[in-house]
A = this chain, B = another copy of it.
Amino acid sequence: MTYCVGVLVKEGLVMIADTRTNAGVDNIATFRKLHTFEVPGDRVISLATAGNLSVSQTAFSLLTEGIEDTETGRMETLLTVPTMSKAAHLVGNAIRQVYAIDGIEMEKHNMSFDVTMLLGGQIGHAPMRLYQVYSAGNAIEATVDTPFLQIGEPKYGKPILDRAVTYGTSLVEALKLGLISMDSTLKSNLGVGLPIDILVSKRDSLAAGVNYRIQDDEPYFRDLRESWSAALRAAHQAIPHPPYTDGFL
């Protein structure tokens, strides 16, 4: 399993991904799932992957080695594509090529061709964008109404995002909320594990301002987990008792 979340707010982009892969609960390993393609002053692009590891690694190789653009005949990578929408098409094409290479054979062995990716970033002074690309290579895009996208195990970490994240949320709050969302997932799904990789990019900075890995023993993340739990306890205790329990509880 995997949990990755991307949040695109007015101030910029946050991408967070865990690093655990597992084939059953008795075979776990650590693999980076968050990748950054940065040319300072030109572009910053972040790619997070979930699903079958062989599919996502093969697609990632294609995206770094280059895929032919059928319109122009040029080989393109995420470091060369001219726009974010073309970057989303490139990721979709990479997934389709992996399907052509491995997908049909995988299905013969009852392995589902299962991959999803989050692609966020900015190229030049065109708008910053955040996409989710599916196994079929098609994509959806985050909007002002729904400024976050999740892949892998989305449910445990969704309530806090639903309640607190809007397009106007500041970038640092979006980061903290993403970390809380990750923590809720870590607590409930053993297939999601530390270390956690983070990318934060301010809109129009065209750079990865924060490109950081949270290790197992990091004091800030430990404190965030503890203070969040303490704050939740204080918050529910502050809510008045239901009127229909009067005289009984």
* A223 cross-chain contacts in B, Cβ below 8 A: 240
Task: Pick from B162, B184, B228, B241: contact of A236, CB below 8 A.
Answer: B228
| The one of B163, B220, B238, B249 that contacts A171, using a Cβ cutoff of 8 Å | B249
Q: Check A70 for interface membership: any CB of B closer than 8 A.
A: no
- Known contacts A158-B156, A220-B242: does B249 contact A164 (CB below 8 Å)? no
Closest chain B CB from A244 CB (angstroms) = 5
Do B155 and A229 have beta carbons less than 8 Å apart?
Answer: no
- The complex is assembled from copies of this chain, and their number is 2
Q: How many residues of A contact B (CB 8 A)?
A: 49
Q: Tell me if A42 is interfacial: C-beta within 8 Å of chain B.
A: no
Whether B175 lies near A242 (C-beta < 8 A) is yes
Please tell me if A72 contacts chain B, counting CB pairs below 8 Å: no
- Interface status of A90 (Cβ within 8 A of chain B): no
A1 → chain B closest CB, angstroms: 12
| 1/0 contact string of A201-229 vs chain B (CB within 8 Å) | 01000000110100000001001100111
Cβ of A185 to closest chain B Cβ, rounded Å: 8
A155-B155, A172-B249 known; 17 other A-B pairs, CB under 8 Å? A160-B236, A163-B229, A164-B232, A172-B245, A175-B249, A176-B242, A202-B249, A209-B245, A210-B244, A210-B248, A212-B244, A220-B243, A220-B244, A224-B239, A227-B238, A228-B236, A235-B235
- Which residues of A approach B to under 8 Å, CB–CB? 155-160, 162-164, 170-173, 175-177, 179-180, 184, 187-188, 200, 202, 209-210, 212, 220, 223-224, 227-229, 231-245, 248-249
Q: List 17 A-B contacts (CB under 8 A).
A: A155-B156, A163-B187, A163-B228, A163-B232, A164-B229, A164-B233, A164-B236, A171-B249, A172-B241, A172-B242, A173-B236, A175-B245, A209-B249, A210-B249, A220-B240, A220-B242, A234-B235
The 6 closest A-B pairs by CB, nearest first: A155-B155, A231-B235, A159-B184, A172-B249, A209-B248, A163-B229
